[in-house]
Amino acid sequence: MANKSVVITGGSRGIGRACALIFAQHGYDVLVGYNRNKTAAEETLAAASGYGVKCAAFCADISKKDEARRLISKALYEFGKVDVLVNNAGIARAALMTDVTEQDFSDMFFTNVGGVFFTSQAVIPEMIGAGGGKIINISSMWGQVGASCETLYSATKAAVIGLTKAMSKELAPSNITVNCVAPGVIDTEMNTCYDKDTMEELRVRTPLERIGSPSDVAGAVYFLASNAADFITGEVVSVNGGFVI
């Protein structure tokens, strides 16, 4: 029997890489999407291939509809189907709201929301044809409660939650579940903009008293993709060490 297959946007590093590894470990064929960082994508690929599954990496800027479509086409070419889509790619930029430019607004909305929308649009007909599928979107706890100096980022991540809920209702009759994971502070390159003191403050504010790891998030994503989550849709799973309760 053919392996199940997963497409992970932003699979080159951070949370996306951890997702690629957990799916490969469980026998999934994996397509690693990335934007610029080919070397990192190849490192993910090498690590995932170590589990003896089919893996490929593909460069596609998911903020552009055509490129998102090409990412899904590549997966169909490589694996013949897409059982799971993990919409993980995202960007963050800390700034006072008054300093946010129109370009920032467009870049962040098209990447964080457009990317989820366009990649899902491309995969939905395939999943419907296959009789079902699972889509997992990565939001953020800041999309749940908002963050000062991250108004734009918070707005995009709140939009991902709204999109997840609407998609789950529209796609449930096609046996496609759509869920969302909202991570807290996770140790990835995304947070290298914060200095040591800020990271320590965030750690102390986290009831479990540690910064999360990419594999903390990947575990929840894998659960939502598994048969154990077949009756879960439209849900937001918080992986934040208790930061937001």
The 3-state DSSP class for residue 176 equals strand
Nearest CA to 157 out of 169, 167, 144, 168 is that of 144
Q: Is 16 in the site for ligand NDP (CB under 6 A)?
A: yes
With beta carbons less than 8 A apart as the criterion, state whether 239 and 214 touch.
no
Site for ligand NDP in 192-231 (CB under 6 A): none
Smaller CB distance to ligand NDP: residue 100 or 128?
100
**Residue in 5, 120, 140, 179 binding ligand NDP, rule: CB under 6 A:** 140
Catalytic residue of the set 28, 34, 77, 153: 153
Token pair belonging to 7: 């497409």
Residues 18-37, mask of contacts with ligand NDP (x by CB under 6 A): ---------------xxxxx
Under the binding rule (CB under 6 A), the answer on residue 91 touching ligand NDP is yes
Identify which range of 13-21, 72-80, 118-126, 221-229 contacts ligand NDP by CB under 6 A.
13-21
User: Of 186, 218, 225, 229, which lies in the binding site for ligand NDP, with binding defined by CB under 6 A?
Assistant: 186
Q: Which is nearer to ligand NDP, 38 or 169 (CB)?
A: 38
First to last CA, the chain: 42
Q: Is 63 in the site for ligand NDP (CB under 6 A)?
A: yes
Element spanning 15, H or E: helix 14-25
Contact 234, 165 (CB under 8 A): yes
Q: With respect to ligand NDP, which residue has the nearer C-beta, 62 or 224? A: 62
What whole-number distance in Å separates Cα of residue 223 and Cα of residue 39? 29
3-state secondary structure of 52: coil
Residue 153 known to be catalytic: yes
Contact (Cβ atoms closer than 8 angstroms) between residue 152 and residue 93:
yes
- Binding residue for ligand NDP, selected from 66, 99, 170, 189, defined by CB under 6 A: 189
CA 36 – CA 40 distance, rounded (Å):
9
Which residues 165-184 are close enough to bind ligand NDP by CB under 6 A?
A: 183
| Gap between the Cα atoms of 103 and 101, Å rounded | 5
Applying CB under 6 A, which residues contact ligand NDP?
A: 9-10, 12-16, 33-37, 40, 61-63, 88-92, 111, 138, 140, 183, 185-186, 188-191
The catalytic residue positions are 153
